[in-house]
Structure 1
Amino acid sequence: MPASRREFLRSSAAFAAGFAGLRMAIHPSLARAAATRGAVGFGDLVADPKGLLDLPAGFSYRVVSRTGDVMDDGLLVSGAPDGMATFAGPEGLTILVRNHETKPGDDGPFGANYERLDKSLLSRFYDDGAGRTPGVGGTSTVVYDTKNQRVVRQFQSLAGTERNCAGGPTPWGSWVTCEETVDKPGFLLDTEDTFTVAKEHGYCFEVPATADAKLADPIPLVAMGRMRHEAIAVDPRSGAVYETEDIDESGVYRFLPDQPGKDGQPGKLVAGGKLQALKVRGNQALDTRNWESHDVSVGDRFEVEWVDLDHPEAPDDDLRKRAFAKGAARFARGEGMWHVGDDTSGSIYFACTSGGVKRIGQIWKYTPSSVEGQSGEKTEPGVLELFLEPNDSRLIQNADNLTAAPWGDLVVCEDRQEDVVRLVGVTPAGECYTLAHNHVKGEFAGVTFSPDGSTLFVNLQTAGMTLAITGAWPKL
């Protein structure tokens, strides 16, 4: 079993163990804090004299990189850093793969006038922009030394894509990055310039987690669908890949690879497979959003079936329309997604940013069948549960990216633009506490822990910063 897979299963198994317990089945330090304060969490936040990030006492942050920094390959750190994941690297280093939700005209890796573009590398780009304005999205990779809290190197690792929003790690040590756009070939205009788009966008791409500075093969995973992708999560037991879609009336999808990654073997997503949409059994097109009526309550559990979707390349961007016609459930802006568990059990948690009666967010839990993707799931189906819908902005507002914490809680990013935006912890019992808040009036994104549990990485998207947060993080 590769080290990256061991780390993936170790961290997700620890999180699953925490979520299987009761409220007090958490790290003793948190339990003691709860007893003295009557709440869970790390205590009151301490104001940051720099006015950037408030954290609990005893915790600190450092800026890993900023938009515009020159990387080791001579390119620039792109703007709008978004979804991320970490992987165990050589010699105890951490490999951090980072999305950039940038579109033509935004701060990209090649400079304002593409002056850093090496045209000899255009064959390594997905969309070369007709040799003039290639896509400025993609991913960058940071090799980080958590022991000494320093950047070893950083470089562009996928080029020529657009609006790479979130994605998810695989058990075999790669990052699947997702485009949140369905741009088609043609011309895009802004107030000052024209940008050429040479290929259809809206796909997922797989990026190896490597410490070697090189570009990934820009192969679109067409069979996983063309849509406004947000995030993915992989079930290591079945090899199934789950997908969210960032639009007000969205579906939740499942991709069953022809060559799934399971039993310790790497998957081959590029080999194709079957795309499906989630349907609640016995309920035609259930609207889970709770907008017009309160149809779903926290704790409600639903048996699931999956409906097949042909033509995943969807040139007319009609996947969700076809899914709803087959009775698929409707969700409110599917966002971050994370698998928790090990290779024998586990669940998928995902956020819906505008779900709920007050449209300020929901978190859902899907527990796959023990025979997920096989004929036996008809009699032993997976189960969907509404895990959290606070309808109280004091607790959490507009949940986006999320991850598993080593001590058994979720850590959730808020996606909004207000004076204070938070990182929120959520206990296994669904209790919320503030872990951090920023003062840049922009969303948190890409929250993820290092494999050794020492460092929490997170992006301040509007400010174009990646931060590393350290302190006495508990273990499960």
Structure 2
Amino acid sequence: MHDDTPLLSRRRLLKAGGMGLGMASLGLSPVGRLLAQAGSTSRMHAGYGPLQTAHDLNTGLPLLQLPEGFRYTTFGWAGEALAGDIACPNKHDGMGVVAGEGSVVTLVRNHEVGAAPGGSFAPAGATWDADCAGGTTTLRFDTASGRMVDARPSLSGTLVNCAGGVTPWGTWLSCEEIVLTRGQKVPIGPDYIHEMKQSHGYVFEVPADGLSSAEPIVAMGRFKHEAATIDPRTGIVYQTEDGHRRAGFYRMLPAVPGELLRGGRLQMLKAVGAPDLRRGRRQGERLKVAWVEIEHPDQGADDDSPTRDEGVVAQGVAGGGSVFTRLEGCIFGDGRVFFTSTDGGDARCGQVWAYHPDSEMLELVFESPDPRVLDYPDNVVLSPRGGLVICEDSGQPVQRLYGMTGEGGLFEFCRSAVVLDGQGGFSGDFRGAEWAGACFSPDGKWLFANVYTPGFTVAITGPWREGLI
């Protein structure tokens, strides 16, 4: 390898606006210890203490419950005007911090919009399929004033933009969690059927500045994408698939590390001797890993559709690849790739897996024995203080942000209290709406997260303590 490898040249790091250094300061190495501790304890921790009603600094409404001393503001609400006087879309989902300059943080936020009228909300050059209304918005937030600076469209014409991941060079990978084929007809509302002008099921890259090229990264495959993460040592991209019947864990070996649109090879994980990893596994077991080539990454098919045997996961299974169920969050840290299976395990309430690239081993780090321990683990993010934030997406009537200490103690950090009566044009009880997109500012002083419905972002700050989150 050159001195300029394994992944990023000095030029590309500088191009990322210092983001590589900012994110490195968050310290990813504790992730292995945290998740391992989660598998050995279900004890609760006092955390930051009891929760109490807190009023939004923006609207004045009592939208959250937080520990004493913490405050928050909301911004980027659905329906508010973006740059160009375009209404902000709803269904706020995955999100990441892609740049930081002084006190201003840049976030890219997914909008998991599927069947909806109106079409693209982005300029034509950042639109993939003009009649489709999913995509991303880019927001700048000033941590010094605690206010949003501006918000603008950055990608649209996509569908069901669920999760994704931040790249080491300061961009966002926005993933479509749906598979549709060009020419396929889909009902949009009661009186209109949209014929797809483009195929869907791709990953798109969004820069921190300007607009996405809206060009799909075909080499990353066409399937029900969930999350993506990159090993900064090699540039290899790891991906999860949210398949209900069966799902694969994939990697894309880029032809040119850091330049994903230039193509690469897609492969599906094979756990030797274990073709089915959905049930019947034991916590702590390790399995040797091999990789199965996906010859036709663009041959997408919904695994629940009549053409499922043509899809990416079917190709992988035919070559001996192992199946999971509903893979969700995915993060690289401590030299490993950690990923979650929402309803995996014998109790069907969650698994956490770790892939070790250096030894080519797969480890079942944690399997929840009961929903009272952990139910439906989704996205996670590491804190600079050695803890872990877990977004809840369960069937519970009130959704929470959980914290996990460095020793594995679980605590409730934030509880939704979103009940609206016409504010912002929304009415109803939204306490059961999922949390998504948790991420920290580069200095670690602000935690950002999305309330999926009715759709807004929160920025939380307060008396953080080492060892917690």
Class of the TM-score when normalised by the shorter of the 2 chains: 0.7 to 0.9
Would you say the 8 A contact 1:410–1:425 is kept in 2?
yes
- Rounded to whole Å, the distance in 1 between the matches of 2:117 and 2:315 is 33
1:352 aligned residue: 341
Deviation at 1:123, TM superposition (A): 4.2
Aligned length, in residue pairs: 418
Q: Go from structure 1 to structure 2 and tell me whether the alpha carbon gap of 1:395 and 1:284 turns closer, same or farther (over 3 Å shift).
A: closer
Alignment deviations for residues 132-191 of structure 1 (CA, whole Å, 9 cap, x no partner):
xx2111110111111211101110011211110000011011111100011223332132
Alignment deviations for residues 105-154 of structure 1 (CA, whole Å, 9 cap, x no partner):
168774xxxxxx8xxx43431112xxxxx211111011111121110111
Q: Go from structure 1 to structure 2 and tell me whether the alpha carbon gap of 1:174 and 1:298 turns closer, same or farther (over 3 Å shift).
A: same
Deviation at 1:72, TM superposition (A): 2.2
Q: Which runs of 5+ in 1 are unaligned?
A: 25-36, 111-116, 129-133, 261-266, 370-380
1:450 aligned residue: 441
- Pairing of 1:97-246 with structure 2 (within 5 A): 97-105=108-116, 110=121, 121-128=123-130, 134-185=131-182, 186-189=184-187, 190-210=189-209, 214-246=210-242
Deviation at 1:429, TM superposition (A): 4.8
Alignment deviations for residues 321-344 of structure 1 (CA, whole Å, 9 cap, x no partner):
121222222212011112224xxx
Matched, 1:334 2:294: no
Whichever residue aligns with residue 355 of structure 1, its letter is: G
Matched, 1:85 2:91: no
Q: TM-score when scaled to structure 1?
A: 0.82
Alignment deviations for residues 215-260 of structure 1 (CA, whole Å, 9 cap, x no partner):
2101100011000000000000111100000112101001110111
Alignment deviations for residues 79-127 of structure 1 (CA, whole Å, 9 cap, x no partner):
10111110333333101110010013168774xxxxxx8xxx4343111
Find the partner of 1:8 among 13, 23, 29: 23
Deviation at 1:71, TM superposition (A): 1.2
Q: Go from structure 1 to structure 2 and tell me whether the alpha carbon gap of 1:422 and 1:60 turns closer, same or farther (over 3 Å shift).
A: same
Q: Go from structure 1 to structure 2 and tell me whether the alpha carbon gap of 1:305 and 1:20 turns closer, same or farther (over 3 Å shift).
A: same
- Rounded to whole Å, the distance in 1 between the matches of 2:315 and 2:249 is 13
Find the partner of 1:46 among 44, 48, 52: 52
Q: Go from structure 1 to structure 2 and tell me whether the alpha carbon gap of 1:42 and 1:395 turns closer, same or farther (over 3 Å shift).
A: farther
Would you say the 8 A contact 2:105–2:141 is kept in 1?
yes
- Rounded to whole Å, the distance in 2 between the matches of 1:425 and 1:301 is 27
- Rounded to whole Å, the distance in 1 between the matches of 2:320 and 2:49 is 45
- Rounded to whole Å, the distance in 2 between the matches of 1:411 and 1:445 is 11
Deviation at 1:38, TM superposition (A): 7.5
Q: Go from structure 1 to structure 2 and tell me whether the alpha carbon gap of 1:315 and 1:350 turns closer, same or farther (over 3 Å shift).
A: closer
Deviation at 1:312, TM superposition (A): 0.3
- Rounded to whole Å, the distance in 2 between the matches of 1:405 and 1:172 is 20
Deviation at 1:269, TM superposition (A): 0.3
Whichever residue aligns with residue 15 of structure 1, its letter is: L
- Rounded to whole Å, the distance in 1 between the matches of 2:179 and 2:265 is 21
- Pairing of 1:262-411 with structure 2 (within 5 A): 267-281=258-272, 283-285=273-275, 287-290=276-279, 295-317=280-302, 318-341=311-334, 346-369=335-358, 381-411=359-389
Q: Go from structure 1 to structure 2 and tell me whether the alpha carbon gap of 1:431 and 1:367 turns closer, same or farther (over 3 Å shift).
A: farther
Would you say the 8 A contact 1:284–1:328 is kept in 2?
no
2:456 aligned residue: 465
1:33 aligned residue: none
Q: Go from structure 1 to structure 2 and tell me whether the alpha carbon gap of 1:436 and 1:356 turns closer, same or farther (over 3 Å shift).
A: farther
- Rounded to whole Å, the distance in 1 between the matches of 2:314 and 2:157 is 28
Q: Go from structure 1 to structure 2 and tell me whether the alpha carbon gap of 1:458 and 1:56 turns closer, same or farther (over 3 Å shift).
A: same
Deviation at 1:202, TM superposition (A): 0.2
Q: Go from structure 1 to structure 2 and tell me whether the alpha carbon gap of 1:422 and 1:124 turns closer, same or farther (over 3 Å shift).
A: closer
Q: Go from structure 1 to structure 2 and tell me whether the alpha carbon gap of 1:96 and 1:275 turns closer, same or farther (over 3 Å shift).
A: same
Deviates more, 1:435-444 or 1:74-83: 435-444
2:248 aligned residue: 251
1:413 aligned residue: 391
Q: Secondary structure at the match of 1:144?
A: strand
Would you say the 8 A contact 1:338–1:350 is kept in 2?
yes
Would you say the 8 A contact 1:395–1:432 is kept in 2?
no
Q: Secondary structure at the match of 2:82?
A: coil
Would you say the 8 A contact 2:200–2:222 is kept in 1?
yes
Q: Secondary structure at the match of 2:86?
A: coil
Would you say the 8 A contact 1:416–1:442 is kept in 2?
no
Q: TM-score when scaled to structure 2?
A: 0.83
Deviation at 1:417, TM superposition (A): 4.1
Deviation at 1:305, TM superposition (A): 1.6
Whichever residue aligns with residue 5 of structure 1, its letter is: G
- Rounded to whole Å, the distance in 2 between the matches of 1:305 and 1:427 is 34
Would you say the 8 A contact 2:343–2:350 is kept in 1?
yes
- Rounded to whole Å, the distance in 2 between the matches of 1:123 and 1:86 is 23
Q: Go from structure 1 to structure 2 and tell me whether the alpha carbon gap of 1:431 and 1:289 turns closer, same or farther (over 3 Å shift).
A: farther
